[in-house]
A and B are shown apart, each in its own frame.
Chain A
Amino acid sequence: MISNRAMEQGNSSERESRLDELFRAYRDACAIPEASPNFMPEIWARIEAREASTSWFGSVAKALVTAGLAASMILGMMVSSRNQSNAFFNATFVDAWSAEHVSTLEPLDIDRISYMEAQ
């Protein structure tokens, strides 16, 4: 039992050192590739492409915001005009009739009223 445990510990530490060895060998086996002559030009090309796409997205976003503002203004105007129509429809018959015939009503004769009051 004890010898098995000791053997397991021995195997474990052996594996640990083998793993360290393997990592060292891996470091040596991974040669660092030389950068191609196009390394820098390609970076700049990719930067410019990304900047162009960013500015394109920016202009699209601006256009969308402008369109949204215009749409909300139009909607606001429509809602307010609808409210005015609602006021017309909610009015009583007398209100609507008087509003319609306000120009044909007789002018108010103040003298006649005071004469009637005196009587």
Chain B
Amino acid sequence: MLVEFDLIQKAQQGDAGAFNQIVSAYRRRIMGTISHVIGRPEDVEDVAQEVFIRLYFSLGQLRTPEVFEPWLYRLTVNASYDYLRKSRRRVESRMADLSEQQVMMADAVAGSRAQTDETEKRRVRDTVQELLGTVSEEDRILLTLKEVEGLSLKELEKIYSVNENALKVRLFRARQRVLKKMKEVTGGSSGNAKQKEG
């Protein structure tokens, strides 16, 4: 835990300073998770604020210190889920514009190494976002927490309050769907190339 339970208790009693300290301690971690899940840096701060507002209003329900972090993660998952659901249409339209954007960026990349790196990062982000777009919002978040955030199944079990086997099944199905999409987008061509080589 990044904070002592005393601090949480103080915040529960309405100590604004204690609440500020909790936010400061977890802000970076929560923003990192949200950044990975939603993939839109410009909206990360807004979603993170929503997480901490939900924390403020539900802090009174917390009884044991052990569940604080999984609980905060659950708030993060819920806020990210709400964001993804609301912005689904917006994301779809962004994906439609992607090819045009990529072409414009490719034209613009004539200069520095930094620009090339940023273009490459953006390409990776867009590719993964597109692949994750093939699964539901819930599975997308679950897959991101496991594969990108690197959370263990035990940690996910605490966050989702479901048993490990159910999580494994869900993760496997989501991963298979992503792999299928990957095969459609890129895999087929490399496979054919290998066959030709063989």
Contacts and interface: CB of A to CB of B under 8 A. Distances in A.
Interface of A: 7, 11-12, 14-16, 18-20, 22-23, 25-33, 35-36, 39-40, 42-44, 46-47, 50
Interface string B56-80: 1100000000000000000000000
B35 to A, nearest CB: 5
Contacts of B52: 43
A55 B195 CA distance: 69
Contact of A16 (B35, B121, B179): B179
Contact of A36 (B41, B45, B127, B187): B45
Contact of A15 (B20, B187, B198): B187
Nearest to A46: B53
Interface of B: 16, 20, 23, 27-28, 31-32, 35-36, 39, 41, 44-45, 48-49, 52-53, 56-57, 120-122, 124-125, 127-128, 131, 147-149, 175, 178-179, 182-183, 187, 190-191, 194-195, 198
A40 B52 CA distance: 10
Interface of chain B, main secondary structure: helix
Contacts of A47: 53, 56-57
Given A35-B48, A43-B23, A43-B53, A15 B148 contact: no
Nearest to A29: B121
A40 B53 contact: no
Nearest to A18: B182
B179 A19 contact: yes
Given A19-B178, A27-B36, A30-B32, 11 more contacts: A7-B194, A19-B131, A22-B131, A23-B148, A26-B125, A27-B148, A29-B122, A35-B45, A43-B52, A44-B16, A47-B57
